[in-house]
């Protein structure tokens, strides 16, 4: 896409099969897309296995649209608030400490692939905070392979590619895939079953506690937080998408709770593990930056554990994380929108059902925005950020649909790197691949 943008400019059109796609790297147009004209572009790009986003009981916040999305987002937001993250901080840190314990024997054995450990870490965290897992379970969790296979193999399955290009074929492909998945216990089906079992078990525990007169305590994880928000009410269909007409129901239905846990597992696993891997790679390739980060960690993180409030003091850590995400915006695939009704972006007319894709990778390395060193790893550029355009950096998306788990991802990454750098130095080996 970067090469096409160089050749055709900041706005150009392509076809993905039968689907019209507009690729945009013009910052003002993207501000219109994600923020100013959000009501026209509130839907994400359609997925091959996407259900009925208006009526399916199992729709989650990532694929929902319109009033359904607004309701799910409003009910999910408290789960990712500072107070909620503070409650799960201890769980996240416990997994980070287990990571360090497992890395210790590797420290003197030569080069090894740290990405595998980051995958175990992020899966351990998400299983503990969203699937009811009570203790660490590194290198014993089958979900790591299940989810990896789902990302690496399923999406490259030829019928998936066909459905992506030919939307009318999607219902048949979805029906066929789900039948096969249930029959053979494939990844997506297995993951959903695990999420379903975890939620139903927690609901049963709550019911039994209630019969004994035991009041629910403080929420222990996302399941508790979502349960505290279940309702049989459904948002009314047929309304225009506007804030004034939104009626927020007070609780999530059980299928919605399961769907939220399922999507947070998928969204919180690979992207965070990959972000940690790229940050580690960049620090290994720039030892002077790593040295400065280690000095900051040593200054503020003196004890065995790191308090939630201390993470906010790690300013250079913030710079490192942001710069790594600038160079490697791994969730850029989510920065696309579907036009819900005819409108314009800039002076270009956009028809309903057109997909608009933001060329995030090009923007994040644009020398007219970032300077001559745009291709280089320079965390210091974030210490005194200039008045850059609001759309010059958006690895988590932008506007009302900005990634809901952004702060959780930051907390995971900062805790993991801080605990690693308290004990080790990350060094590039002779087989370290260049990116």
Would residue 435 count as lying in a domain?
Answer: no
Q: What is the pLDDT of residue 287?
A: 97
- Per-residue pLDDT tens over the stretch 304-336: 999 999 999 999 999 999 999 999 998 888 899
Task: Choose the most confident range, by mean pLDDT, from 68-72, 149-153, 385-389, 407-411.
Answer: 407-411
Would residue 429 count as lying in a domain?
Answer: no
CA distance 344 to 10: 16
Higher-scoring residue by pLDDT: 32, 176: 32
pLDDT at residue 85 greater than cutoff 90: yes
Higher-scoring residue by pLDDT: 127, 431: 127
Q: What is the pLDDT of residue 297?
A: 98
Contact 334, 44 (CB under 8 A): yes
Distances (CA, A) of 272 to 6, 12, 398: 30, 31, 18
Dihedral pair phi/psi, residue 235, rounded to 5°:
-70, 145
- Per-residue pLDDT tens over the stretch 96-155: 999 999 999 998 888 899 999 999 999 999 999 988 888 999 999 888 887 776 666 555
Would residue 428 count as lying in a domain?
Answer: no
Q: What is the pLDDT of residue 426?
A: 96
Q: What is the pLDDT of residue 207?
A: 86
Q: What is the pLDDT of residue 326?
A: 98
Contact 83, 408 (CB under 8 A): no
Higher-scoring residue by pLDDT: 242, 45: 45
CATH code at position 337: 1.10.630.10
Domain that holds residue 165: 2-423
H/E element, 337: strand 336-338
Closest CA to 425 of 280, 277, 272, 278: 280
Q: What is the pLDDT of residue 252?
A: 86
Q: State yes or no: 403 annotated in a binding site.
A: yes
For the question of whether the overall pTM of this predicted structure is more than 0.85, the answer is yes
Q: What is the pLDDT of residue 148?
A: 77
Distances (CA, A) of 92 to 218, 308, 382: 17, 11, 26
Tell me the pLDDT band of 189, cut-offs 50, 70 and 90: low
The two beta strands, 19-24 and 355-358, are parallel
Tell me the pLDDT band of 40, cut-offs 50, 70 and 90: very high
Q: What is the pLDDT of residue 332?
A: 86
Would residue 430 count as lying in a domain?
Answer: no
H/E element, 338: strand 336-338
Would residue 84 count as lying in a domain?
Answer: yes
Q: And the tokens for 198? A: 């975890």
> Considering its fold, how many domains does the chain have in total?
1
Q: If you average pLDDT over residues 158-185, what whole number do you get?
A: 59
Tell me the pLDDT band of 56, cut-offs 50, 70 and 90: confident
Q: What is the pLDDT of residue 231?
A: 42
pLDDT at residue 183 greater than cutoff 60: no
Contact 119, 160 (CB under 8 A): no
- Per-residue pLDDT tens over the stretch 207-256: 888 888 877 766 678 888 888 875 444 544 444 454 444 455 567 889 88
CA distance 216 to 219: 8
Beta strands in 7-120 (DSSP E): 11-16, 19-24, 43-44
pLDDT at residue 181 greater than cutoff 70: no
Q: What is the pLDDT of residue 68?
A: 86
Tell me the pLDDT band of 393, cut-offs 50, 70 and 90: very high
Q: What is the pLDDT of residue 48?
A: 52
pLDDT at residue 32 greater than cutoff 90: yes
In percent, the amount of the chain with pLDDT more than 70 equals: 83
Would residue 166 count as lying in a domain?
Answer: yes
Q: To the nearest whole number, what is the mean pLDDT of the chain?
A: 86
Would residue 341 count as lying in a domain?
Answer: yes
């Amino acid at each position: 896409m970067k090469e096409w943008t160089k050749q055709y400019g900041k706005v150009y059109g392509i076809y993905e099969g039968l689907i019209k796609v507009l690729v945009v790297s013009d910052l003002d147009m993207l501000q219109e897309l994600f923020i100013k004209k959000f009501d026209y572009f509130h839907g994400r790009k359609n997925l091959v296995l996407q259900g009925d986003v208006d009526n399916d009981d199992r729709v989650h916040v990532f694929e929902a649209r319109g009033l359904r999305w607004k309701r799910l987002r409003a009910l999910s937001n408290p789960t990712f608030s500072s107070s909620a993250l503070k409650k799960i901080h201890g769980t996240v840190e416990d997994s980070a400490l287990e990571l360090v314990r497992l890395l210790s024997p590797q420290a003197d054995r030569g080069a090894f692939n740290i990405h595998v450990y980051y995958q175990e870490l992020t899966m351990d965290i998400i299983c503990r905070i969203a699937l009811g897992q009570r203790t660490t379970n590194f290198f014993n969790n089958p979900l790591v392979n299940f989810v990896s296979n789902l990302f690496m193999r399923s999406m490259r399955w030829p019928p998936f590619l066909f459905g992506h290009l030919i939307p009318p074929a999607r219902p048949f492909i979805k029906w066929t895939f789900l039948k096969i998945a249930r029959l053979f216990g494939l990844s997506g089906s297995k993951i959903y079953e695990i999420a379903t079992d975890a939620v139903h078990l927690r609901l049963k525990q709550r019911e039994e506690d209630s019969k004994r007169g035991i009041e629910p305590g403080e929420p222990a994880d996302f399941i508790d937080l979502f349960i505290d928000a279940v309702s049989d009410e459904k948002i009314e269909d047929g309304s225009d998408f506007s804030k004034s007409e939104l009626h927020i129901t007070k609780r999530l239905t059980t299928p919605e709770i399961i769907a939220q846990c399922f999507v947070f597992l998928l969204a919180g696993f690979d992207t965070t593990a990959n972000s940690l891997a790229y940050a580690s790679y960049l620090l290994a390739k720039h030892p002077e930056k790593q040295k400065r980060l280690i000095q900051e960690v040593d200054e503020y993180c003196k004890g065995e554990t790191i308090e939630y409030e201390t993470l906010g003091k790690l300013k250079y850590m913030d710079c490192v994380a942001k710069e790594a995400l600038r160079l490697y915006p791994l969730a850029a695939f989510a920065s696309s929108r579907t036009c819900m009704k005819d409108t314009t972006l800039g002076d270009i007319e956009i028809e309903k059902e057109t997909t608009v894709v933001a060329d995030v990778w090009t923007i994040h390395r644009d020398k007219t925005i970032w300077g001559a060193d745009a291709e280089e790893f320079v965390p210091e550029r974030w210490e005194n950020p200039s008045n850059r355009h609001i759309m010059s950096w958006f690895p988590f998306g932008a506007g009302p649909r900005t990634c809901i788990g952004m702060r959780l991802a930051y907390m995971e990454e900062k805790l993991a790197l801080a605990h690693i750098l308290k004990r080790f130095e990350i060094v590039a080996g002779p087989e370290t691949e260049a990116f």
